[in-house]
Amino acid sequence: MRTRKLGFMTAAMSMAGALVLATSACGGDDSGSAGSDRPVTLTYWASNQGPSLEADKQVLQPELDRFEKQTGIKVNVEVVPWSDLLNRILAAATSGQGPDVVNIGNTWSASLQATGAFVPFDDAALAALGGKGRFLGPSLAATGAAGQPPTAVPIYGMTYGLFYNKKMFAGAGIDGPPKTWEELIADGKKLTHDGKWGLAVEGASVSENAHHAFIFGQQHGADLFDSSGKAQFDSPQQVAAVKQYIDLMAVHKIVNPSNAEYANGTEAIQDFVTGKAAMLMWQSIASSVKAAGVSEDDFGLAPIPLPDPGTGGRQVNGMVAGINLAVFQHTKNSDAAMKFVAFMTGKETQQTLNKAYGSLPTVNDAYDDPAFQTPTITAFQQILANTAAPLPQVPDESQFETLVGTAMNQMFADAAAGKPITDGYVKAKLSDAKQQMTGGN
């Protein structure tokens, strides 16, 4: 009898033991949520802006320390790689567990707004940050659906420009950046020789492709969504826009077919920075330039050529890109979180961080720093202020990026393989993408 009972006990105990062991060894993660008697601690997910996760942390930490000194609020920052960020935000929104404050790509604003997981910035909240007028108009426009209070506030501003390699241009006898698309192609052809290429693109990057589809779509007067929010990716104008971009490789052959393989958002920059390509349509490349150990003076920045005003398109050559800061509804420290938002949009923080990342401050009063008077920054600022348009602020925006971007990956792959890229082909791919927008409303 006794031994039998012991048998039972041993079985149960060892099972329990195994699991208790597991629990005690690993359950001890500090959840970071603060009790009422402890000093307030915020958790902050930052996006990867600099050359590496570690480098980002080194940029942010002194600022966070300064915040703690000012307010007594400690901020635990985690720099989340772009490949994970949206999934992680989604998981946090679904579960109500996650950070208090988070960086979001500004193109996700309306999509994330639809989840209802974020604290809306009503007029009172904006007033606490210095009022609407303090912020750069275009950046503030990319913070959620029109007519609703912003779901986030902009912290880093960015747009697209055309970088060009001054030495390569001089070597090819070209005296300045192209002013029209035709010039860009002609220059590209002159620059393409001996393993060097006119232009580099990130041909397998879903988001880069989608952004260019949008910019050139604007130039052709296309709207991705009609007034009722229905997708219309395959309008003749949009087809022409996408084809214009793919044709750089397919028809004009000024883009290395290898670019069709570039997926992680760094390889095109590398080609440009290392002189394998003479032009690049990109956002800030400052940190890559620094990492490569070359001088920023070797490169010039011009606006992407605008279309001929007579063609009926819009005078747009950039999108309002950038990073917004959002506060989760589920935060238990909303006051502290709002203080942190005020800190991050404060003049000094804006200057320090945007200088470090090579991005544009999103508040007007930060521009008095001479660091933002360089030719590159000034050029970007001009584009952002005058000829940049925000991506459609609709909940389905992220589906647009995924579906159209993926379709364009395919087009680049086919172009690189030498297949002809016809209007009909582009239209068929875009129609497919449109039809897959079955979710949402």
Region 66-105 residues binding another protein, contact defined as CB under 8 A: 78-84, 87-88, 90-91, 93-97
**Is 6 a binder of another protein (CB under 8 A)?**
yes
Rounded to a whole number of angstroms, the CA Rg of the chain reads 25
Only one residue has tokens 């060892």, namely 14
| 147 dihedral zone (left: phi>0; alpha: psi -120 to 50; beta) | left
Tokens representing residue 432 in the block: 């497919």
Smallest gap from residue 30 Cβ to another protein (A): 8
Residues 366-405 contacting another protein, CB under 8 A: 395, 398-399, 402-403, 405
Smallest gap from residue 256 Cβ to another protein (A): 9
Q: Which is nearer to another protein, 100 or 267 (CB)?
A: 267
CB atoms within 10 A of CB 306: 16
> What is the x/- site pattern for another protein, positions 182-211, by CB under 8 A?
----------------------x-x-----
Q: Which is nearer to another protein, 364 or 402 (CB)?
A: 402
Tokens representing residue 98 in the block: 């996650």
Tokens representing residue 104 in the block: 């979001």
Choices 17-25, 179-187, 350-358, 364-372 (CB under 8 A): range interacting with another protein: 17-25
Q: Which is nearer to another protein, 150 or 358 (CB)?
A: 358
Element (H, E) at 232: none
Choices 152-160, 166-174, 224-232, 286-294 (CB under 8 A): range interacting with another protein: 286-294
Residue 306, classed as helix, strand or coil, is coil
**Is 146 a binder of another protein (CB under 8 A)?**
no
Angle at 259 between CA 255 and CA 265, to 5 degrees: 125
Q: Which of 116, 236, 275, 375 binds another protein (CB under 8 A)?
A: 116
Smallest gap from residue 156 Cβ to another protein (A): 17
CB of 407 closer than 8 Å to CB of 433: yes
Q: Which is nearer to another protein, 30 or 175 (CB)?
A: 30
CB of 368 closer than 8 Å to CB of 166: no
Smallest gap from residue 52 Cβ to another protein (A): 5
For residue 359, give the nearest of 249, 291, 284, 302 by alpha carbon.
Answer: 284
**Is 36 a binder of another protein (CB under 8 A)?**
no
> Residues touching another protein: how many (CB under 8 A)?
93
| C-alpha to C-alpha distance for 102 and 91, rounded to whole angstroms | 13
Q: Which is nearer to another protein, 54 or 122 (CB)?
A: 54
Q: For residue 76, what are the CA distances in angstroms to 44, 64, 88, 97, 323?
A: 6, 8, 16, 15, 19
Residues 39-68 contacting another protein, CB under 8 A: 48, 51-54
